[in-house]
A and B are shown apart, each in its own frame.
Chain A
Amino acid sequence: METGVMIVDDNDFIRESVDILFRTAGIRVVDAKGGNECLSQLEAGFKGVILLDVMMPGMDGWDTIRNMVARGLYEGNAILMLTAKEKPDIKMNGIQEYISDYITKPFNPMELLETVKFYSKLLTT
Chain B
Amino acid sequence: MKPVTTYILVSSLVAILAISTFALLSLNRFHAAEAEEERENLEKCIRTFRELFAYKGTGFRIVDGKLLAGNYLINGNFELPDKVQEIFGGVATVFQGDTRVSTNVLDDRGLRAVGTKLIGPAYDAIFREGKPYRGETVILKTPYLTAYDPIRDVKGRIIGILFVGVEKSAFLARYSGLRMQLMLTLIGMVASFTILMTLLGKVTRKYEQMNKDQVRFFQTLINTIPSPVYYKDTKGRYLGCNNAFESGAKLARAEIIGKTAYQLWGKEQADQHRQKDLELLETPGAQMYESAVKFADGTLHDMVFNKATFQDKDGSLGGLVGVLLDITERKEAEKEKSLLEAQLHHSRMLELVMVQLGHDLKTPLTPLFALLPLIRELVSDPGLKRMADICSRNAVQIKELTDRTLKLASLSSIVAPSNWEKIQLASAVDGYILDSAQSYASKNVSCKNTIAPEIAVQGVADQLKELFANLISNAVRYSPEHGVILIGAVAAEKTVTISVEDKGIGLAPEHIGRVFDEFFKVDESRHDLAAQGLGLAICKKIVFNHNGRIWAESPGIGMGTTIRFILPRSTI
Which residues of A pack against B, CB within 8 Å?
11, 13-14, 16-18, 20-21, 24, 84-87, 104-110, 112
Contacts and interface: CB of A to CB of B under 8 A. Distances in A.
Nearest to B355: A85
18 contacts: A13-B364, A13-B366, A14-B363, A17-B366, A17-B367, A18-B370, A20-B371, A21-B370, A24-B374, A104-B362, A105-B365, A105-B366, A106-B395, A107-B366, A108-B369, A109-B373, A109-B374, A110-B373
B205 interface: no
A85 B365 CA distance: 14
Given A106-B365, A109-B370, 20 more contacts: A11-B363, A13-B366, A14-B370, A17-B367, A17-B370, A17-B371, A21-B370, A21-B374, A84-B362, A84-B363, A86-B406, A87-B410, A105-B363, A105-B366, A106-B368, A106-B395, A107-B369, A107-B370, A109-B373, A110-B373
A107 B368 CA distance: 10
A125 to B, nearest CB: 28
A72 B218 CA distance: 91
A17 B395 CA distance: 15
| A-B residue pairs, 6 tightest by C-beta | A106-B369, A106-B365, A17-B367, A17-B370, A84-B362, A106-B366
**Chain B contact residues, majority secondary structure:** helix
A40 B399 CA distance: 34
B359 interface: yes
B38 to A, nearest CB: 134
Nearest to A108: B369
Interface of B: 358-359, 362-371, 373-374, 395, 399, 406, 410
B354 to A, nearest CB: 14
Contacts of B373: 109-110
Nearest to A53: B363
B463 to A, nearest CB: 15
A85 B364 CA distance: 15
Contacts of B362: 84, 104-106
A109 B369 contact: yes
Which of A16, A105, A110, A112 has the most chain B CB within a 10 Å cutoff? A105
A20 B364 CA distance: 16
A27 to B, nearest CB: 14
B68 to A, nearest CB: 166
A109 B371 CA distance: 8
A13 B372 CA distance: 13
B359 A85 contact: yes
Contacts of B374: 20-21, 24, 109
Nearest to A82: B366
A11 B371 CA distance: 15
A54 to B, nearest CB: 10
Nearest to B410: A87
A72 B373 CA distance: 39
Contacts of B406: 86
B369 A14 contact: no
A13 B359 contact: no
A14 B359 CA distance: 15
A105 B367 CA distance: 10
Which of B359, B362, B406 has the most chain A CB within a 10 Å cutoff? B362
B492 to A, nearest CB: 36
B359 A84 contact: yes
A79 B369 CA distance: 21
B500 to A, nearest CB: 27
A113 to B, nearest CB: 10
B393 to A, nearest CB: 14
Contacts of A21: 370-371, 374
A86 B409 CA distance: 13
Nearest to B360: A84
